[in-house]
Structure 1
Amino acid sequence: MMDLIDLVQTLTSPHPLDRYLELVRPTLTARRLRAEVVHVRRSAPGSVTLTLRPTRQWRGHAAGQYVQLGVVVDGVRHTRCYSPVNPEARRDRHIQLTVKAHPGGLVSQYLYQHAAPGLVVDLAPAAGVFRLPEPRPERVLLISGGSGITPVLSMLRTLADEGYPGELTFLHYAKSPVHVPHRAELESIADTHKNFRVELRYPRRAAETVAQDRAPGCAEVSGGGYFDYDELERVAPWFADAHTYVCGPQALMDAVRKVFEAEQLEDRLHTEEFTLSVAPVDTSEVHGTVNFSASGVSAANSGASLLEQAESAGLSPAYGCRMGICFSCTAVRRTGCTRNLRTGETGSDPDQPIQLCINAPVGTVDIDI
């Protein structure tokens, strides 16, 4: 079959076969993975849940992984990363994404405002190492905050579908009950699986608005503090014997890491970042010129990431996550030195591929974009 596709691809040169097929139907593709939006739901303020029907190339995802979604906004194709919220091994092969419309988020705002059944998007195979192990641990603790709920919700749904027999607690932080996507399903899972516990926290709400349990295994608490050791002991006193999966705002991630490092349990903690935590910048490094040689554009080094500096210079390099996890923004560093914004490490070997979103120039550099 692939030999036949290769032959047809040669005959249709210079354009790929998929360029002609999409004129017949956007989801009729030989190689490119695409998906059609078949259902849209806006149940939580500021977020939208999309159900996608992918083309035959889709091979599924593991709970916790992410996909790259490509959409055309004002004639320009943009790619972003989102974690499916549906369980892995879904029988109908559909994908469900819950997208939070972030302020200034070009793609998330577009999807929130304009996504409708019939929209066709580009898709990349599922990727990422934030996933449940095989065999499943005897105890699992899931912690999330805000839009970080998506990968851990997929884990919760997967374990529920599998009839997971172990002990499980899901702890989620949100602004208020209406800001918890899929809240009714969380209550249903807690009610159906007696070994599951769902703990919802709304620290910003007044303490007198504490809600009663909506289901025997689901508790909601308003007011009070944020995550700390005492909270961990309350919701999962067995956490030292569990595997813990965390995704959320940086403050939550840092608080969880602090507890697990103090308990020397780092090997049992698994995290997924959706914000970039950067190492301190040495102001003496902010000098020189950034040359984007393939475009013939140069700009004074501002100290920001190469992705941000390229955009400020009027360029539009591809990217998906801005966090260094998807490698969509990789480009070649021809000459000069760059610093990894996450680790603080520098590199100066010529003609090396680097990620624009997590690297900043140290003095003058030449980047092939």
Structure 2
Amino acid sequence: MSMLDAVIVGAGPSGIGVGIILQKMGINFAILDRNSVGSSFLKWPKQMKLLTPSFFSNTFKMIDLNAISYDTSPALTLQTEHPSGHEYAAYLNKLTEHFKLPIQNDTNVSSVSKTEDVFTLQTNKGEIKCKYLVWAAGEFQYPNLHSFPGSKNCIHNSLISNWDDVKGDEFFVIGGYESGMDTAINLAERNKRIIVIDKDNLLGNEEIDPSRTISPYTKDRLRRVNTDNQITFHEGKVVRVEKEENEFVIFTEKKKIRSKTKPILANGFKGSLSLIHDLFDWEEGKAQLNSYDESIKTPGLYVTGPMLQQAHHVIFCFIYKFQQRFAVVANNIGIKLSKDVSVIAEYKKEGMYLDNLADAKDECAC
């Protein structure tokens, strides 16, 4: 393959979102995915839905929270407020077709290197070279499976495809953020008893950033299902899990708990940046990026999607957050390639361009 201007790794919302802008700029690029468009969403448990509501408000310069382009809306495309994984994947495929994006499915990137100003990607379909690389491979397919000794005695919630198939009457869920709550709620809806073990009291904290607390949507679901206290909470940090004959023993810092069913891990994801770890400088577990979401260590490599963390303690783990950075990345690439970047003005006009992260403040009067 001849030299490409840019390559995007990952055909999820962030990869498609940036790709739409590069396409409008006339940039020679490709979007690679080891599976297919929206494959992470297709792997979601059948019952899982997006936390953020979709609503067509584009007319009033307030884009759909789950949109990845200012001129589209999942609410209109899917006719639902909280899309399932399969529904959202259908939205992504619709955009891929509409904008005629250059997708290369079933292309697995095994390694990335940079020599002078050229990136070389080794894939199962051969070598690909490009000037700029956008990493948009996401998190969901890279669960955190080794967070403490004995993690192998648990099952990660992302590996459960259908909650109807889970057998047993009582379950311990390790982790109390959104994935832990979703796990507990789905099990409670199936008449199971659930004990959520978490080191933080998330339901009682005063954080207002949805990335650091439980969303109103999840709290509503919890109130509806937990009328008989099927879900209870144990505050503590799990330090290891052991298997003893027909039981699992969960050790917290202060207590030993026995379970007849395999504990369910809901402790998040290590993310796909682990595959290209050496291309970044790291500080406190965060890849160090400049103001254009570009690696400080490896210029020309950009990060987009839920793995993105920037200065000012801003976390971008929701679509409505990281959608604001698509045009920032694409604009920087377009300028470096001397392309017409006038399309960026439309993104700014439609409220889909946040370049001053100091403005992203957690402030609310009441």
TM-score normalized with structure 1 length: 0.30
Structure with the bigger percentage of strand: 1
Larger radius of gyration: 1
The structure, 1 or 2, with the larger RCO (C-alpha pairs under 8 Å, 6+ apart) is 2
